[in-house]
Amino acid sequence: MISGEQLIGAQQRRGTVGEFRAFSPVRDAVLEPAFGGGDAADVEQACSLAQAAFDPFRRNLPELRARLLETIAEGLLALGDVLIERAHLESALPLARLQGERLRTVNQLRLFAQNLRDGHWSAATLDAALPGRQPPRPDLRSQKIALGPVAVFGASNFPLAFSVAGGDTASALAAGCPVIAKAHPAHPGTSELVGRVIQQSVRELGLPEGVFSLLHDSDTRLGLALVTHPVIQAVGFTGSRRGGLALQAAAQARPQPIPVYAEMSAINPVFLLPAALQARGEAIAQGFADSLTLGVGQFCTNPGLLVAIDGPELQGFVEAAAALLATKPAGTMLTPGIRAAYDAGAARVREQSGVSTPAEGSAQLCLTDASTFIANPLLHEEVFGPGALLVTCRDRAELLALAESLEGQLTATLQLDEADADLARALLPVLERKAGRILANGFPTGVEVCHAMVHGGPFPASSSALHTSVGSMAIERFLRPVCYQDLPDWLLPPALQNANPLGLWRRLEGKPHPA
């Protein structure tokens, strides 16, 4: 079922540049078949098809896009164990985790299908003409439309939910943007299986073939060619800070710059407030150890930083956490490269002046004080994997200063009790400025796909603090507003016609009105 070919519109074509195979960390061996990397002609053809597909795809009824997403969801489920087993071989992620990730991917596609039918995404807005006003006001209506063909770069750590049919693809297709996916070279087989489901779904629904293509490359060359192709109008990316910044630089250097939505880097601080720590330090230590080691720590929301005011309860917490971490089995990481980067990064933290290491092994817990942390930029960097740093503060003022010193984050967490209310209220405004999601009494791993989710945050968590890559609002990255002034009803798009044929909630004179 896996041929090693690229999917370019309705065709399949073997790339001719730099043959490569997936490496299985489970088997410690390469997997068949061989994949061929694409060349400039492949990029050109995929882009040309995407451009041809763009107007018919975006201007078709939203219902058709909803059915496309649902058909893809059905197709993913129909692949059954074939998909899960290949993803397991390519990523070493456990079968149960991958089954959960598939369900999440399917539910994400279905959520966007449902949202398309609700129509909130189109932001249809009508301001009536005021012919008697001086000067007269014309009839003005606006809606959001698709931005253009989108390049999607799959993530290493979510071969399903953040890859070929993941959140970027689902939200871009929902918006009406054709997608050209660049498969992650760590899971090209999984990518092809998923890509074929999308290709087949596009065909079944009679949509233009250029709605979707899948390209391969084991290097960065093809990705840069894609991002700099004039047809591409936006980029979705989940991965390293270095990778995201390289795409961003390429996108900005184009004659026409385009937005790059790169979800990059976070250490996800968890603040252990005094009353909570006193009341339930052991339970917090258990929750922390579980969250830190979940999936061998390979989550962008992994809790890499703990912050607390020093005291006897904290000593107990550290001992409990270290003991719990010592019981965690060593896990196989996604790729040998990620393992090597984690080992080097974890060692670098241990070697910093003023840092001690209460737990070292399958998972690592280091310890330092606030002034050391604030002064050393290296300690603010993400180490992707099961390592965390606990920073002790002298007092409340130092804890607030530490919060202010943080870079942008995907999440910030408060472990708090009612007796911590004053400190929590003082911290909250700082954390709002620093993070996209703020949690109380939980742990940041686990990102719900729903309307209120924000998976993003100030730089470097994301390249655009204005957007989220998970949840209903993710579609906003791929839409732009267009205003129509005095157009005759027969020329207006359906969302804005007088009769409201799509049955949308629309804003009339600024107020929401049901159909």
Active site residues: 263, 300
Shortest CB 16 distance to a second copy, Å: 32
* 88 three-class SS: helix
- Rounded to whole angstroms, the Cα distance separating 266 from 380 reads 9
Contacts (Cβ under 8 Å, ≥6 apart) of 27: 89
- Rounded to whole angstroms, the Cα distance separating 82 from 95 reads 11
> Nearer Cβ to a second copy, position 138 or 337?
138
Cis amide bond preceding 149, omega within 30:
no
Shortest CB 177 distance to a second copy, Å: 12
> Nearer Cβ to a second copy, position 242 or 425?
425
- Rounded to whole angstroms, the Cα distance separating 466 from 457 reads 8
Q: Among all chains, which residue has been given the structure tokens 């960065």?
A: 220
Q: Among all chains, which residue has been given the structure tokens 């996209």?
A: 436
The DSSP symbol for 220 reads S
> Nearer Cβ to a second copy, position 355 or 470?
470
Q: Annotate 300-311 with b (16+ C-beta within 10 A) or e (fewer).
A: bbbbbbbbbbee
- Rounded to whole angstroms, the Cα distance separating 478 from 223 reads 19
Shortest CB 214 distance to a second copy, Å: 25
Paired sense of beta strands 387-393 and 29-30, if any: unpaired
On the CB side of 331, CA atoms within 13 Å amount to 24
> Nearer Cβ to a second copy, position 236 or 387?
236
Shortest CB 49 distance to a second copy, Å: 17
Shortest CB 436 distance to a second copy, Å: 6
> Nearer Cβ to a second copy, position 221 or 396?
396
Contacts (Cβ under 8 Å, ≥6 apart) of 59: 176, 493
Residue 298, classified by CB atoms within 10 Å of its CB into exposed (0-12), middle (13-18) or buried (19+), is buried
Shortest CB 448 distance to a second copy, Å: 6
> Nearer Cβ to a second copy, position 491 or 499?
491
> Nearer Cβ to a second copy, position 186 or 474?
474
- Rounded to whole angstroms, the Cα distance separating 363 from 384 reads 12
Shortest CB 229 distance to a second copy, Å: 15
Nearest to 4 by CA among 24, 21, 18, 25: 21
